[in-house]
Chains A and B, each alone.
Chain A
Amino acid sequence: MKKMMMLLMASVLFLAACSGSDSADGGGGSEQDSNKVTIWAWDPNFNIAALNMAKEMYEKENPDVEIEIVENAQADIVQKLNTGLSSGTSKGLPSIVLIEDYRAQSFLQAYPDAFHDMSDSFNVDDFAEYKIAPTSFDGKQYGLPFDSGVTGLYVRTDYLEEAGYTLEDLQGIDWNEYIEIGKKVKEATGKDMITLDPNDLGLIRLMIQTAGAWYMEEDGVTPALAGNEALKQAFEAYKGMMDADIVKPNSDWSQFVANFNSGDVASVPTGNWITPSVKAEASQSGKWAVAPIPKLSVEGAVNASNLGGSSWYVLNGDSSEAAADFLGKTFGSNADLYQQLVTEIGAIGTYKPASGGEAYEKADEFFGGQKIISDFAGWTEEIQGLNYGMHTYAIEDIMIVEMQNYLNGKSIDDVLNDAQAQAEAQLK
């Protein structure tokens, strides 16, 4: 019996030892001493490259702070943050994380105690106004605005010319005029005007923001779909493109990029972050230009919009002070850094004091000598600020289904009313 007890005790001890060492291992990564700052971000050519520049600048003056940059896919970051934060521990989570503006409110409101208040770390007035609403909550500034998602209409000037248009004809147009031009272009060149993924309504989001409208009311939680004039027009324009047969479908990012790199589509209305992908096809140099984004014909609509874009957030933890200091001294106030970002990776920030330097005035031969950075910076200032609220992607999934119904002949009012009812049921 004694032996058996011994055996039992031994096995219990063994188990305890196992679990003990496990947690010690798991905790290894999270032993945040206050001078080690870990950062998660996605996209090596853009965000990670920007971080590396910032790191280099900061470490020159603060050699005692160790900065570790970890690259993760955006979907993985969202998933890891959700699992980490909902378990109520900051173990294994970074000190700084990049979050897309559309998702920011969802995180800030779902995990109210997890984020570090950045109000004192930088001057909010130095940044583009439209970035502030998505990155703040309850009167406190949590996010440090980073890249601009300012949009432009990337067009093939050679196709336009064949159809008898010039870049001048694309200034200040609305989406109906865009469709008309698209029809002519297709007639003259046989090329589709635009490429769309039916599972991604980025174009709709971009369209309604030209009118300062969104899926949500100002409060960010009440769905505003039924009777939303901007949304209605956006849907009609979307269907108009489909009916005019000027759309080449794609089903993911690589097909999307392939469709314009191969010269199969004449225009790409999207965020400025597409520039590196457009320029990747060097043989098309000189054939592209960027026009202002078309607008909806709603009162107050402007030829400027936003698509995507993200901001930096600091998570509460041992090193959050060091992390806030890093952000404040680099992305929060360093104009030189932003000049360098523009010249080296073409990243357009939303830091206003930096938007006038010579890097912004450079002509780009790929775009026929157009000063695209300076154009984008100008449009950035016109973007209408919006509270994206916390349910952008939940509503978008409803809209994707209703868009299919609409394309199949359901009336627009029914479509929006049904979407409203569904959204209200789902988001209580």
Chain B
Amino acid sequence: MSSKTKTATIGSSSSKKFGMNSKMKSTLIGWSFVMIAVIMICTFYFYPMVQALILSFQSGTGTNLEFVGLDNYKRLLTDSTFLTAVKNTFIYLIVQVPVMIILALFLSVLLNDRTLKWKGLYRTAMFLPAVTSLVAYSVIFKYLFANDGLVNTMLLKFSLVPDAINWLADPFWAKVTIILAITWRWTGYNMIFYLSALQNVDQSIYEAAKMDGASAFQQFFKITIPMLKPIILFTSITSTIGTLQLFDEVMNITKGGPGNATTSISQYIYNLSFKYTPDFGYAATVSYFIVILIVIFSVIQFKVAGDRND
């Protein structure tokens, strides 16, 4: 009853003149609340997206752009630098994301142990990399992995390797360095998601499993993993998107080198727009390629992991 009086007050007398029923009124009120957000999102998200799409059909230097139809997209397929960048990004994706997810899962289960002392300290230590600036940590990694850097010095002093590893100038080791860096930076971040999810898992499930004689491994695979499935899906999608957009680390640690052995797609977009004579049209085309990739991957991940859970 009280709700009706409220609506009546808001609607006031004018509602009769326009002959509005209360349903329409509440719809309108609802819309007016979201209107600001909708206008903002349209102006600052969708409008630039559409503009970028239009831009991706143009080519030329700087402001001398002209429409070239699908030429940019054809050029993509034969552009060896671009293909190398895609290949590199996929290597990062295929190696780094699973390693990081498994590591984060493992760590979160360890840290969720109720008998563990100094839990807060360990959690903070693990999460701390995620709050450091991307550029700052990249620069530090660059120096750690320099030819006469700390990592090489340690490996040599402990006689683990016969010669110094050329971390940044060897195509293989440069990729390893980038993967190590991203893993260090993001594992703790993903671990926090798992930890919070684990704390919502009812302990009695584990107790019941123990009573039935389940080993620690069985508990992990039969209880923990299924319970965390939605979170694992979420983290793998965000990590995949993050890796596809990889830029700061590559830019600061190796500059894409040696050659273009570590160039990522995002870095290529940067080079096209700011390092070479700018071709914003083609750069927009490459950006749209990332969009398409992300959509495809997210759909795949939903299909693989999502449906049975809903």
Contact = CB atoms under 8 A, between A and B. Distances in A.
A401 B147 contact: no
A282 interface: no
B274 A82 contact: yes
A85 interface: yes
B62 A391 contact: no
Interface string A312-352: 00000000000000000000000000000000000000000
A107 to B, nearest CB: 8
Given A3-B12, A249-B169, A86 B280 contact: yes
Interface stretch (B76-84, B153-161, B223-231): B76-84
A78 interface: yes
Interface in A53-97: 75, 78-79, 82, 85-86, 88
B62 A394 contact: no
B168 interface: yes
Most B CB within 10 A of own CB, among A112, A251, A393, A425: A251
A112 B62 CA distance: 9
A13 to B, nearest CB: 12
B260 A82 contact: no
A260 B62 CA distance: 39
A15 B37 CA distance: 11
B308 interface: no
A119 interface: no
A8 B81 contact: no
B61 A390 contact: yes
B20 interface: yes
A2 B12 contact: yes
Given A8-B32, A249-B147, A1 B277 contact: no
Main secondary structure of the interface of A (DSSP, over half): helix
A97 to B, nearest CB: 15
A85 B63 contact: yes
Nearest to B271: A397
B199 interface: no
A82 B271 CA distance: 12
B274 A251 contact: no
Nearest to B39: A15
A384 to B, nearest CB: 23
Contact of B62 (A86, A199, A400): A86
A198 B278 contact: no
Contacts of A7: 32
Interface in B157-171: 166, 168-169, 171
Interface in B262-306: 271, 273-278, 280
B10 A394 contact: no
Given A86-B62, A251-B146, A401-B259, A422 B10 contact: no
B264 to A, nearest CB: 14
Contact of B63 (A86, A249, A252, A390): A86
A231 interface: no
Nearest to B260: A401
B18 interface: yes
Contact of A1 (B15, B75, B79): B15
B137 to A, nearest CB: 16
B259 A403 contact: yes
A277 interface: no
Contact of B14 (A1, A401, A403): A1
Contact of A82 (B10, B78, B81, B278): B278
Interface in B197-246: none
Given A1-B18, A199-B258, A393 B12 contact: no
Most B CB within 10 A of own CB, among A88, A112, A400, A401: A401
B277 A110 contact: yes
A2 B14 contact: yes
Contact of B64 (A75, A110, A405): A110
B146 A393 contact: no
Contacts of A85: 62-63
Contacts of B257: 198-199, 400
Nearest to B84: A401
Contact of B258 (A106, A198, A425): A198
B35 interface: yes
A426 B12 contact: no
Contact of A11 (B25, B35, B64): B35
A422 B75 CA distance: 12
Contact of A111 (B18, B62, B142): B62
Contact of B276 (A4, A109, A251, A393): A393
B129 interface: no
A296 B15 CA distance: 89
A255 interface: yes
B259 A404 contact: yes
Interface in A379-397: 390-391, 393-394, 397
A249 B275 CA distance: 24
Nearest to B278: A82
Given A82-B278, A404-B259, A251 B168 contact: yes
A397 B81 contact: yes
A393 B275 contact: yes
A251 B62 contact: no
List 5 A-B pairs, minimum CB-CB distance, nearest first.
A110-B62, A394-B276, A106-B277, A401-B259, A199-B257
Given A7-B32, A422-B81, 14 more contacts: A2-B14, A11-B36, A78-B274, A82-B273, A82-B278, A85-B63, A86-B63, A251-B142, A251-B147, A255-B146, A394-B276, A398-B81, A404-B261, A425-B80
7 contacts: A2-B12, A15-B36, A75-B274, A251-B142, A397-B271, A400-B258, A401-B260
